[in-house]
Chain A
Amino acid sequence: MKKRAVAVALLTAATVALTGCATSGSTDGTTAADACAPSTGKVDLTFTTWIPGMEETVAIWNKANPDIQVKVQTGPNGNGGTYQNFFNQLKAGNAPDLGQIEYDALPNFRVQDGLTNLAACDGVLDAKSDFVDWTWGQVNFGEDKSVYAIPQDAGPMAMFYRADLFKANNIAIPTTWDEFATAAEQVRATGGYITNFSQSDINQFAGFVWQAGGTWFKNDGDKWTVDLTDPTTTKVAAYWQDLIDRDLVSTNPPWTDEWNNAYNTGSDWTWNSAAWGANSIASGAPDTAGQWAVAQSPQWNAGDKASGNWGGSSTAVFKGSKHPYEAAKFALWLNTSDESLTMLNKTANLYPAAKSGLELPALKAGVPFYGDQAIYDEFAIASAQVSPDFIWGPTMTQTYNDVSDGFKAAVSGKGTLEEALKVGQTNTIAAMSAQSIPVNK
């Protein structure tokens, strides 16, 4: 028996030691761009993405560029495992050349020193004007001579609403959040809910804060500042807490059957969501086809023109890639060329971050589900109104988890959204300290 215990202890110790080396962080404040020279001869690149059908787009590139062949690798979405795989691969030294990373995860890869600064690569700095302004802010972290990824898609937010129900009940389409609250009472009087508050997907709330002009993180080059409880965030939280308290919004967990059903049966009337949400409604609420329309998000002050953003991702080149020049060239083509953007929109409903992409014929046409309204025109307007100042922190997975725990409790009557954000604030600072990321306490 004694021998067995020793054997077990040894095995466990070995496991712990091996697992242990996968987690450690390094921060480095350098802003110098990495060297970026063309390679000679034929180059093979690997590109990991979870966008279905990416192969078809890449095939166009491979055909036109026999000397730079790209191989697509895939997996679950970022937080579903692909980000962890990237970190494992960076550790093992076999990361792909290129990878898809959502904006909110980029700072994490940045502080772990996993990204190549592409600023020295041909044409990358000049590409700034090709992209919607705020998306560029997401990939250069506000540093002039830095570009850590090429923006791919975006999720500018607007308001999907049931045009038929608002009309039939003589309720005006709200253009400010005050009007929205008033309309909420009127809608509730008819038995419905004006919208659903996303209790578990914190990105929607982040989008509201983004629109209101708040930002949760700041990085002055040396240290991070976390501010989940600034006055703007608190204002937004108090607004939604009030609607929840008065039972004016439903709180179904997003993407569930109840959630779909609430829209399909006409119990929920609006959804403040991103461009890609157009398909979520169309598939979740098929019985309501033709009844929906899209308007700009309600504003905090009448006459303002501000929008939030929900989601979106970029194409990054990992540290350790032997061919950053070619990788950057491919990433620019992938995210700016008409042929690529058209294909990505067709196969995966991507809403482009490139300005030229907003003019694609597919994004100019009327959509039958929305009564033939050219809804993407609204999103193009919204995209231009998104503030470039919102930045994400380096530990978003943890922040999301902590805040969504609090939000879930708040919608069931325990605590408030503001309290949840306070907890998120404390835990985020603690998590960053634990990873030795410099942060103002």
Chain B
Amino acid sequence: MSTMKTDSARPGRGIRPAQSKTPKAPLAQRESPLARGGALIVMGVFTLYFLVPIWWLLVAASKNRSQFNSTNPLWFADFSLFENIGNLVAYRDGVYLKWMLNSALYAGGGALIGTIIAGMCGYALAKYNFPGRELIFNVVLGGVLVPATALALPLFLIFSQISLTNTFWSVFLPSLVSPFGVYLARIYASASVPDELIEAARLDGAGEVRTFFTVSVRMMVPALVTVFLFQFVAIWNNFFLPLIMLRDETLFPVTLGLYAWNSQVNQIPVLRDYVLIGALLSIIPLIIIFLLLQRFWRNGLSAGSVK
């Protein structure tokens, strides 16, 4: 690995990431207390703004129905959270758990495979010279601009043609595609995977696929984790596509299931409790994923900035 150099001449004219060029700016040694205080206040306000709804949800989910309307919405009454969870899980033979499992499958599987595909695509676009490369990349970039919601109905009509609506695949397959992931992977690969390294791997006799999986992927991990996270959250929160595609309750992701319940609280009031508790439980996997992966992610954001 002696050929590894930090300053590589990259082929093509990919977009150079800003952070790799930024010289190490001399940090302001002394911030004025005013600026620091101001920053803290702004951060504090936003933290509060983002956390209050979650706090409300937690408090609301811990109340029984009569207390829900009659007690302070931001403080606990009798703590019946676990009893409520028990009721939710028992309702209709545990259909809620099924939804959570579905969401985990759609989001976990979709994000994993989607990340691999995006990583390979981005890597290929960054490291191989072939005709039409820029055109393909630009089309992918265009894909970033088209909201997923706008594609749901066309997808439904296409899936109808091949009789795949109302199946697991009708939600899973479209989830595998992440134009933004391709974009990020390309930028990152061109900045962080030196051509010399790939060359060395080739000289050592590794095939292209092996080079990608054993050498390049390791250097791209921070970007791939970011793509995975984005993709996971996007699929987990994706609501419109399942709404249009799925009719079978046992295929629903948790977002659609809760929405379906919520649309009937006028006539079946007990569903309101289940929606609240279900919403609370449904954000827990997202929190876990973020806590587990943020280490890699932070590394990714700073990596390459101090070469």
* Contact surface of A with B, Cβ cutoff 8 Å: 3-4, 7-8, 10-12, 14-15, 18-19, 21-22, 46, 48, 50, 52-53, 73-77, 80-81, 84-85, 88-89, 91-94, 96, 255, 257, 260-261, 264-265, 276, 279-280, 282-287, 348-349
In the complex, the answer to whether A4 meets B248 with C-beta atoms within 8 Å is no
Q: Lowest 10 A-B CB distances belong to which pairs? A: A283-B269, A73-B247, A92-B160, A18-B154, A80-B263, A286-B66, A8-B142, A4-B138, A76-B263, A77-B263
Q: List 7 A-B contacts (CB under 8 A).
A: A11-B146, A74-B249, A84-B244, A255-B265, A257-B73, A284-B269, A286-B65
In the complex, the answer to whether A3 meets B264 with C-beta atoms within 8 Å is no
Q: Which of A76, A284, A348 has the most CB of B within 10 A?
A: A76
Q: What residues of B have a CB within 8 angstroms of the CB of A89 in the complex? A: 160
Q: How far is the CA of A388 from the CA of B128 in the complex (A)?
A: 73
Q: How far is the CA of A48 from the CA of B268 in the complex (A)?
A: 18
In the complex, the answer to whether A349 meets B157 with C-beta atoms within 8 Å is no
Known A7-B138, A7-B139, A52-B268; judge A15-B154 contact (CB<8 A): yes
Nearest Cβ on chain A to B101's Cβ, whole angstroms: 18
Known A92-B160, A280-B269; judge A80-B260 contact (CB<8 A): yes
In the complex, the answer to whether A3 meets B157 with C-beta atoms within 8 Å is no
In the complex, which residue of chain A has the Cβ closest to the Cβ of B249?
A74
Nearest Cβ on chain B to A284's Cβ, whole angstroms: 7
Given A279-B268, A280-B267, 12 new contacts (CB under 8 A): A7-B138, A7-B139, A7-B141, A11-B139, A15-B151, A21-B157, A73-B249, A74-B247, A76-B256, A76-B263, A80-B259, A88-B157
In the complex, whether B270 has a CB less than 8 A from a CB of chain A is: yes
In the complex, which residue of chain B has the Cβ closest to the Cβ of A48?
B247
In the complex, which residue of chain B has the Cβ closest to the Cβ of A16?
B150
Chain B interface residue count: which class?
35 or more
Q: What residues of A have a CB within 8 angstroms of the CB of B163 in the complex? A: 94
Q: How far is the CA of A294 from the CA of B29 in the complex (A)?
A: 75
In the complex, the answer to whether A50 meets B264 with C-beta atoms within 8 Å is yes
Q: How far is the CA of A14 from the CA of B146 in the complex (A)?
A: 11
Name the prevailing secondary structure of the A interface residues: helix
Q: Within residues 30 to 88 of chain B, which ones have a CB less than 8 A from any CB in chain A?
A: 65-66, 69-70, 73
Q: What residues of B have a CB within 8 angstroms of the CB of A52 in the complex? A: 92, 261, 264, 268, 271
In the complex, the answer to whether B153 meets A73 with C-beta atoms within 8 Å is no
In the complex, whether B28 has a CB less than 8 A from a CB of chain A is: no
In the complex, which residue of chain B has the Cβ closest to the Cβ of A15?
B150
Contact of A75 (CB < 8 Å), options: B134, B142, B145, B260: B260
Q: How far is the CA of A75 from the CA of B244 in the complex (A)?
A: 10
In the complex, the answer to whether B150 meets A92 with C-beta atoms within 8 Å is no
Q: How far is the CA of A276 from the CA of B244 in the complex (A)?
A: 29
Q: How far is the CA of A412 from the CA of B215 in the complex (A)?
A: 66
In the complex, the answer to whether B269 meets A50 with C-beta atoms within 8 Å is no
Q: What residues of A have a CB within 8 angstroms of the CB of B269 in the complex? A: 279-280, 282-284
In the complex, the answer to whether B247 meets A255 with C-beta atoms within 8 Å is no
In the complex, the answer to whether A50 meets B153 with C-beta atoms within 8 Å is no
Nearest Cβ on chain B to A260's Cβ, whole angstroms: 5
In the complex, the answer to whether B156 meets A92 with C-beta atoms within 8 Å is yes
In the complex, the answer to whether A76 meets B70 with C-beta atoms within 8 Å is no
Q: What residues of B have a CB within 8 angstroms of the CB of A8 in the complex? A: 141-142, 145
In the complex, the answer to whether B165 meets A94 with C-beta atoms within 8 Å is yes
In the complex, the answer to whether B69 meets A284 with C-beta atoms within 8 Å is yes
In the complex, whether B135 has a CB less than 8 A from a CB of chain A is: yes
Q: How far is the CA of A283 from the CA of B272 in the complex (A)?
A: 10
In the complex, the answer to whether A261 meets B70 with C-beta atoms within 8 Å is yes
Contact of B70 (CB < 8 Å), options: A96, A264, A280: A264
Q: Which of B146, B151, B156, B261 has the most CB of A within 10 A?
A: B156
Contact of A92 (CB < 8 Å), options: B146, B157, B262: B157
In the complex, whether B266 has a CB less than 8 A from a CB of chain A is: yes
In the complex, which residue of chain A has the Cβ closest to the Cβ of B165?
A94
In the complex, whether B243 has a CB less than 8 A from a CB of chain A is: yes
In the complex, whether B143 has a CB less than 8 A from a CB of chain A is: yes
Nearest Cβ on chain A to B239's Cβ, whole angstroms: 10
Contact of A280 (CB < 8 Å), options: B153, B154, B266: B266
In the complex, which residue of chain B has the Cβ closest to the Cβ of A350?
B267
Nearest Cβ on chain B to A18's Cβ, whole angstroms: 4
Q: How far is the CA of A143 from the CA of B89 in the complex (A)?
A: 48
In the complex, whether B166 has a CB less than 8 A from a CB of chain A is: yes
Nearest Cβ on chain B to A200's Cβ, whole angstroms: 12
Nearest Cβ on chain B to A77's Cβ, whole angstroms: 4
Q: What residues of B have a CB within 8 angstroms of the CB of A15 in the complex? A: 146, 150-151, 154
Contact of B264 (CB < 8 Å), options: A10, A77, A257: A77
Q: How far is the CA of A326 from the CA of B109 in the complex (A)?
A: 40
In the complex, the answer to whether B70 meets A94 with C-beta atoms within 8 Å is no
Known A52-B92, A73-B247; judge A287-B267 contact (CB<8 A): no
